[in-house]
Structure 1
C-alpha cells in the first residue's frame, strides 16, 4: 500500500525523536544496569521485570507513533496474559523481541540526534534563503529612512555580502531573488530528506520492533496472541 502520510507528520516524528530517544535511552540503560547489578539480592529480579515491561511499553508507544505519524504499521506479538507471573516473566525474558526492543531504545538516541539536527537546521537555512528579498527591501527601507549604519546580508559564502546602504540596488536584489529560488529548491529537497529519514526509521523499526512470525499478516503465533489495531486491519483489507 502506498504511503500518503503528510510531510508535516513525518517532520513531527523526526523532530520529537530526540527528546523521546533521550528518555527511552536513559530509562533503558539505568533500568537494565541497576536491575542486573542488584540480581544478587531479591530486589534485582522485580526491578528487572519492571524494566522489561517498561521496554516493551516504550516499544508499543513507538509503534503507535510510527503508525499515527508516518503511516508505518509494524506487526508484533505479546506474551499471554493468562499465564502465571513466573511463566510470563520467563516468556518476556526469553523473547528475542524484548531484547530487540531494548536495542532499538539504545539506537533511538543517536538516530534522534541526527533527525532533530536535520529538522532544525535545514528549515532555518531554507527559510533564511526564501525570505531574503523581503529582508533586503525592509532593511533598505529602514536604513534609508532612519540614516542607520550600513548593514550587510550574507550571500553565497563568507567572502561575499549584499550591502544595505539605504538605496535600492537592482543587482543586489537580483542576488536576493536567486537566494529565494535556492530556498524554494531547498524546501523541495527537505521534503525528500524527510521521506528518506522516515524510511530509515521504518527499516530500523521493522527490524527491531517487529516480529518475523507476524510479518505476513494477523495469524496467531503460539504461545503468543497477535494484537493489531484498526489501522493495521484496514491496511490488511487494502
Structure 2
C-alpha cells in the first residue's frame, strides 16, 4: 500500500520513522537528524512556497521516506562491513577458544576501555553533579535558565562523545548525529523540551553510573593483571635474579618446586581470563549505553 505524500515535516519524519521500524535506534536517530536538517533548510530557503507542494518536490529530489529508509539500510550494511574488525580464527577445542581470545581486537580495545572508564567516569560525575547543583541553585537569578540550557547542551554533546567512544572501542552501534534542535523555536521552549526529554535525565544517570563502574573496571583490571603476572612470572624472576614478585609480610613468597607449574598456569589463565572478562564487559557496557543514551526507535 502506497503512503500518501507527507504534507508537513513532522509527517515526513513520522513516515521515515515508521519505514525504519525495527532498525537499530542509533541508525534511526541519524536518519531522522539528516532528514530534518535537510527539510528545514529547504523550508528556510523557500518561505513563500506551500508546505505540501514543497514537500512533494523534496520527496522527488531527496527521496520519499520509504526510499530514504532503504538508502540508510544499504549504507549501514556497507559501513558496518568496512568498520568491522577481521573475525578471529574459529577454534574447535575448548583450549583453542580460551586462548584464541588474544587474537580478538575487540577484546584488547575493551581492555583499554576498562582503563579509560575511570578518568572519563570521574569527569562525567563531577560535570553532572556540579552542573545540576549550579543549575538549580541559580534558578532564582536571571542567569539561571541560560546556565541550565548551556549545561543541558553540554550533556547532549558529552552523550555524543561517549557514544563515539563506545562504538569505536566496544563495537556497539551508537548515534553519529545529535538530536535535532529547531533553531527557530523560542529559547524557553527549547530549554523546556530538554528538561522534559527523558533522554536528558537518562544520559545524566549514565554519567553518574560511570564513576562506580569506572572504579570497578579499573580495580578489576589492575587486580587481575597484577596477580596474573605475579603468579606467572614469580618463579622465573626468583630463579633469575634471586627475589620474587609476591611479597607477604616483607618476605618474598615462592611456591614449592612441585607447585610452580600450577601457579604459572593459574597466572596465565588469569591473564587470558581478563580478556574474556573484557569482552563480557564490552557487551554489558554497550547495552547500557544503548539503553540510556539512545532514544528508542
Q: TM-score range by the shorter chain?
A: 0.7 to 0.9
Which of 162, 166, 171 in structure 1 is aligned with 2:254?
Answer: 162
- Distance (whole Å) between structure 2 residues aligned to residue 91 and residue 197 of structure 1: 34
TM-score (norm 2): 0.59
Query: Which of 75-84 and 38-47 deviates more?
Result: 75-84
Q: How big is each residue's C-alpha offset from its partner over 1:87-119, in whole Å with a ceiling of 9 and x where there is no partner?
A: 432322221111110111111111111011111
Contact 1:9 1:69 in 2 (8 A): yes
Task: Report how many residues are paired.
Answer: 194
Runs of at least 5 residues in structure 1 that lack an aligned partner in the other structure: 141-150, 164-171, 214-238
- Distance (whole Å) between structure 2 residues aligned to residue 161 and residue 51 of structure 1: 53
Whose strand proportion is higher, 1 or 2? 1
Contact 1:79 1:91 in 2 (8 A): no
Which of 141, 162, 171 in structure 2 is aligned with 1:62?
Answer: 162
Structure 1 counterpart of 2:112: 12
Contact 2:245 2:252 in 1 (8 A): no
Cα drift, residue 176 of structure 1: 2.6
What value does the CA root-mean-square deviation take over the aligned residues?
A: 2.8
Structure 2 counterpart of 1:40: 140
Which protein has greater RCO, CA pairs closer than 8 Å, 6+ apart? 1
Cα drift, residue 67 of structure 1: 0.7
- Distance (whole Å) between structure 2 residues aligned to residue 23 and residue 206 of structure 1: 20
Which of 67, 79, 94 in structure 1 is aligned with 2:196?
Answer: 94
CA change 1:22–1:161 in 2 (3 A) is closer
Structure 1 counterpart of 2:259: 175
Runs of 4+ in structure 1 over 4 Å off? 1-5, 151-156
Which of 259, 269, 276 in structure 2 is aligned with 1:192?
Answer: 276
Cα drift, residue 136 of structure 1: 2.2
CA change 1:81–1:14 in 2 (3 A) is farther
TM-score (norm 1): 0.72
CA change 1:46–1:16 in 2 (3 A) is same
Cα drift, residue 203 of structure 1: 2.2
Contact 1:132 1:176 in 2 (8 A): no
